[in-house]
Chains A and B, each alone.
Chain A
Amino acid sequence: MKKILVCTLLVLAMSASAFGAAFKIGGTGPLTGGAAIYGNAAKNGAEIAVAEINAMGGDVQFELRYEDDTHDAEKAVNAYNALKDWGMQISLGSVTSKPAEATAAENFADRIFALTPSASSAAVTEGKDNVFQMCFVDPNQGSASAQYIADKGLAKKVAVIWKNDDVYSKGIRDTFVEKAPSLGLEVVSETTFADGNDNDFSVQLTDAQTKGAELVFLPMYYQPASLILAQAQAMSYAPKWFGVDGMDGILTMEGFDKSLAEGVMLLTPFNADAKDERTQNFVKKYQEKHGEVPNQFAADGYDCVYAYYQALTQAKATPDMDAATLCAKMIEQFTTMTFNGVTGENVRWSANGEVTKDPKGMVIKDGAYVGLD
C-alpha cells in the first residue's frame, strides 16, 4: 500500500511538472496522533480528486501537499508556514476546528484563499472574507438535528452525551440544547466525557435511562459512539440514537458489530452507499487505493478539490497568478457558484464562508445507510 502511495505521488508530481504549470494547493491536518483518522481521510480524499483531475489533462492541474499538524494550533501554523515556503497558492485550510481557527487567521492575513474540508466551528470563518467551509458549521448542525427530531416526532425527552474538551462536540451541543425547548423537546439528561475518561459510559447511559430519555443525541465522532452503543446494549438500554456527521464511518470500522448500530439515525451530507455515479466512482477508487470505505472527511476533502476545480475553471485562472489574485477570484466564484459533489447537490456558499447544503437524514438498517424520510 505504501508503495502504491509513493508511486501515485510520484506520478502526480510528474504529471504536474510535465505540464509545467499546476496550481499549488496545500492543507494541514492531523496525520499522526490521536486525531489522525480525520486528517488522513481528508488527505486521501483530496489526493484521489487531484489524481482524477490531473488525469483528465485539462487546463487546470493541481499539485497537492498535505502537512501534519497533529491536531494542534501551534503545529498547524508551522505546517501552514511550511506550505507557504513551498509556494502554496490556494489552501485547504486545516482539517480540525481549533487548528483551522489558527491557520484561518494566517490565511486572512496573507490573502491566501482557504476552503476547509471539515473544520466546522463558527470561529473558523468568522470575520474572514477568504475562508470557506465545505462542511456544515457546528451551530447549524445542532439546530438542524433538534429541528429534525421535533419535526419527525421522534421523541419528547432527549438525553445528550457530549465530549467536554472538544470544540466540535461542544459547538453542536450548545445550539441543540438552546434550540430544543422552543421545539417542545425536553433535555432530561446531559452528561459529558473527555480524553482520558472516554472508555466507560455506564454513568452517562444510566443517567439517560433513569431520567426516561427516549432518544439519546450523540454529537461526537464515531469511535466513542461505538463504545456507547456497545455499552448500552450490554445494559439492555435501547433508546433511539441520533448522531451527527462525525458518526459517519461507524459502519466501516474493522470488526464493528453492525447490529449495534441498527436504527441509529444521523444527519450527514455524505453516504458511501449512495447509488449515484459520482459517489460510487469515488468510493470504488478509495477502496482500491486504501482498502477502506471512505468516511465523510474523505468525501469533504474530495469535494474541496473539485470545488476548486470548478471555481478555477470558471474564473479562467492560470497557475502563474499569485495567491492574492487567485484569492480575489475565488471569493468572487465561491459566493456566486453552485457546486455538485459527493457531499451534496446544489451546494452554495454565503459571503461569510458558510456552506448551504441539505443534510441527509439517514438511518442504519441491516448494516447500511438508508435515506430517512
Chain B
Amino acid sequence: MIFLNFFISGISLGSIYAIIALGYTMVYGIAKMLNFAHGDVIMVGAYVCFYAVSRYGFNPFLGVVLAMAVCTLLGIIVERLAYKPLRQAPSLAVLITAIGMSYFLQNTALLLWSSNPKVFPSVIGRGAFKLFDGALSVSHITALTIGACLVIMVVLSLFISKTKLGKAMRACSEDKGAAQLMGINVNATISMTFAIGSGLAAIAGALLCSAYPTLMPTTGALPGIKAFTAAVFGGIGSIPGAFLGGLMLGVIEIFAKAYISSQLSDAVVFGVLIVVLLVKPAGLLGKMTQEKV
C-alpha cells in the first residue's frame, strides 16, 4: 500500500511537471526555441491568481481566468519585444535572450511583490478522495491537475491537427520557408504559439501553487528546469510526450527518494534521463529525424 501511495505522490508531482512541460514543448515544437522564461511566466500567473483570490476576493476560477489573460498578454509582449527581433538570429542568441527575460521577470516580481513567501490559496480546497478505507488518498488537486493535463493535451492535439491555425503551426514547425511560400504568416503564427503557451503557463502556475502552496519570485525557476527535462524525456516537441515525460519524471523522483536515497534523488532522476536518451536519442515519443545527405 505504501508503494501505491508513493506512486500516487509521484503521479501528483509528475502531473505538475507535465502541465509545465506542455508549454515548453509546444513552443519548442513550433518556434524551435527553448523558452527558459516559461517557468517565470508561471510564477507571474500564480501571483496574479494569488492577488485576485486572496486580496480581492475573486472566485478561484475567475482568478485563474484573469491570470490566463494577464499571462497571455505578457507572453505577447515578451515575444514582440525580445524574441521577434531575433527571428533570423542563431538559436543560441534567442536562448540567452530568454534567460535574460527570466531574470527580468524574477527581479520585477521581487520588486513588485517582495521576497516574502506567500501561501497560495488552493483553487479547490485541500480535500482528498479516500480509497480502500482511507489507506490510499488522492488529493483533489492531484485529480484536478491530471484532469486538466489530459484536457489540455487533447484540446491542444485537436487544435494542432484540426484547425487552420493549428495546421499553420505544424507547417511552420516543418519548414518555415515553405510555409511562408504557401501564404502562411509565419511571424503571426509563432506569436500566436507564444500567446497560447503563456496562457497555459497561468493554469500551470495556479495548479503548481495549489499543490505546493508557497509562492516566491523564484517559484517557477526550478520546476521550470525539471519540466524542461520532462519535456526532453518524453521527446521535445511531442505533446503526448510532455505528458508522459512529466508523469514519469515525477514517479521516478519519488521512487528514487523512497527506495534509493533521498539525498541522491536528483542524481538518480538525471541518470535515468541520460540512460533513456542513450537508448532513445529523441526521447520516449520524439520523432527521430533522419538527416538527409
Q: Do chains A and B touch in the complex (CB under 8 A)?
A: yes
Chain A residues packing against B (C-beta within 8 Å): 32-34, 36-37, 40, 164, 191-197, 199-200, 202-204, 206-207, 210, 223, 226-227, 230, 233-236, 253-257, 292
Contact call A202/B54, Cβ cutoff below 8 A: no
Across the interface, do A203 and B115 meet the contact criterion of CB distance under 8 Å?
Answer: no
The answer for the CA separation of A226 and B216 in the assembled complex, in Å, is: 13
Known: A200-B9, A230-B126, A234-B139. A256 touches B266 (CB 8 A): no
Cβ-based interface call for B114 (8 A): yes
Chain A residues near B9 (CB-CB < 8 A): 200, 202-203
| Contacts A199-B223, A230-B213; A194 near B117 (Cβ below 8 A) | no
Provide a sorted-by-A list of 22 A–B residue pairs whose CB atoms are within 8 angstroms.
Answer: A37-B117, A192-B262, A193-B262, A199-B16, A199-B211, A200-B13, A200-B254, A202-B9, A203-B257, A203-B262, A206-B6, A206-B258, A210-B2, A223-B117, A223-B214, A226-B213, A226-B214, A227-B214, A233-B126, A253-B214, A255-B118, A292-B114
B110 at the interface (CB under 8 A from A): yes
In the complex, what residues of B have CB within 8 A of residue A226's CB? 117, 119, 213-214
A195-B222, A202-B6, A254-B119 known, 4 other contacts, Cβ within 8 Å: A33-B218, A253-B118, A255-B50, A256-B119
Q: Please, which residue of chain A has its CB at the minimum distance from the CB of B139?
A: A234
- Shortest beta-carbon distance, A96 to chain B, in Å? 13
Q: Indicate if the CB atoms of B115 and A253 lie closer than 8 Å.
A: no
> Chain B contacts of A230 at CB under 8 A?
126, 213
Within 8 A of A (CB), among B108-145: 110, 114-121, 126, 128, 134, 137, 139
Q: Report which of B119, B212, B213, B216 forms a contact with A34, defined as CB distance below 8 A.
A: B216
Q: Which of A40, A164, A193, A255 contacts B115 (CB 8 A)?
A: A40
| Nearest residue, chain B, Cβ from A164 | B263
Check B212–A199 contact: CB distance below 8 A.
yes
- A-chain residues with CB within 8 Å of residue B97 when the two chains form the complex: none
- The answer to whether residues A196 and B119 also contact, given A202-B5, A203-B262 and a CB cut-off of 8 A, is no
- Could you say which residues of chain B place their CB within 8 Å of the CB of A197? 253, 257, 265-266
> Provided the pairs A33-B218, A255-B120 are in contact, do residues A199 and B262 lie with their beta carbons within 8 angstroms?
no
B222→A196 contact, CB < 8 A: yes
Which residues of chain A are near B221, meaning CB under 8 Å? 34
Residue of B nearest to A249 (CB): B116
CB <8 Å contact, B117 and A257: no
How far is it, in angstroms, between the C-alpha of A223 and the C-alpha of B215 when the chains are bound? 9
Are A194 and B257 CB-contacts (below 8 A) given A202-B6, A206-B2, A253-B118?
A: no
* A-B pairs, 10 with minimum CB distance: A36-B115, A255-B119, A202-B9, A199-B212, A203-B257, A256-B119, A34-B218, A196-B222, A203-B258, A191-B262
Measured CA separation A197–B225 after assembly (Å): 11
Q: A255 to nearest B CB, angstroms? A: 4
Question: Is B217 at the interface (CB under 8 A from chain A)?
Answer: yes
Instruction: Report B-chain residues with C-beta under 8 Å of the C-beta of A196.
Output: 222, 225-226, 266
Cα of A256 to Cα of B226 in the assembled complex, Å = 26
Most buried by B among A32, A193, A254: A254
Measured in the bound complex, the distance between the Cα atoms of B226 and A17 in whole Å is: 51
Contact of A199 with B13 in the complex, beta carbons under 8 Å = yes
Say whether B116 contacts A254, CB under 8 Å. yes
**What is the minimal beta-carbon distance from A289 to any residue of chain B, in angstroms?**
13
Question: B212: which A residues are within 8 A, CB to CB?
Answer: 199-200, 227
CB under 8 Å from chain A, chain B span 169-220 = 211-214, 216-218
Min CB distance B49 to A, Å, is 12
Cβ of A257: which chain B residues have Cβ within 8 Å of it? 119
- Which residues of chain A are near B13, meaning CB under 8 Å? 199-200
Q: Which residues of B contact A236 (CB under 8 A)?
A: 134
Docked-complex contact B262 and A204, CB < 8 angstroms: yes
Instruction: Please state if A206 and B213 are interface contacts (CB–CB under 8 Å).
Output: no
**Assembly CA distance A348 to B257 (angstroms):** 43
Q: Which residues of B contact A255 (CB under 8 A)?
A: 50, 54, 118-121, 213
Does the CB pair A235–B137 fall under 8 Å?
yes
Bound CA span A178–B267, Å: 27
By a CB distance below 8 angstroms, the chain A residues around B114 are: 40, 292
B214-245 to A contact mask, C-beta < 8 Å, 1/0 = 10111001110110000000000000000000
CB-CB under 8 A from A195, the residues of chain B are 222
